[in-house]
Amino acid sequence: MHKIALVTIALSLIAAPALAGPKEDAVAERQAFFKQLGGNMGPLAKLLKGDYDAATAQQHADAIANLTTKDISGLFVEGTSTADMPGKTEALPVIWEDMDGFAAKYKALGEAAANLKAEAGKGKAQLAAAFGQTGAACKSCHTSFRD
């Protein structure tokens, strides 16, 4: 009995930091995901403005392409839109009304990112074209689905 009680206490201590709840966790995780995308797009923009460096360009393009292979559908759980959690998220309710449309925008980003990965290390002009295409895919989804 004593042992069980101790285990119970230990488990509740482990679980404590996650008490924010699965919805908050999903929002935090998807925001961290998008932040990583932004964190790799920024340096590419800098490379285009300044001195192009193939290795650095490739590194960030690889990171973006890898990120976009992730299935993010599980992070858009019901009840986590701007209507449900105002001030906590920028995910518009229309995402849940048009999951197919949302998924299509994400798929388009994945394709743009794969091309970015293929082109980024070839030269500044190639990076510029692929970067523009990728940025357009980001913007296209934000326009429809992000507040």
Residues that bind ligand HEC (CB under 6 A): 27, 30-31, 34-35, 37-38, 41, 89-91, 102, 105-106, 109, 134, 137-138, 141-142, 145-146
CA atoms of 118 and 134, how far apart (whole Å): 12
Give whichever of 127 and 134 is closer to ligand HEC, judged by the CB atom. 134
Q: Is residue 109 within 8 Å of residue 69, measured between CB atoms?
A: no
CA angle (117 as vertex; 146, 134 as ends), nearest 5: 25
Write down the least CB distance from residue 111 to ligand HEC, Å. Answer: 11
Cβ(85)–Cβ(77) below 8 Å:
no
Q: What are phi and psi of 115, to 5 degrees?
A: -70, -40
Q: Of 11 and 110, which CB lies nearer to ligand HEC in the complex structure?
A: 110
Closer to ligand HEC by Cβ: residue 124 or 142: 142
Q: 119 or 134, CB closer to ligand HEC?
A: 134
The minimum distance between CB 83 and ligand HEC, in angstroms, equals 12
Dihedrals phi, psi of 122, to nearest 5 degrees: -85, -25
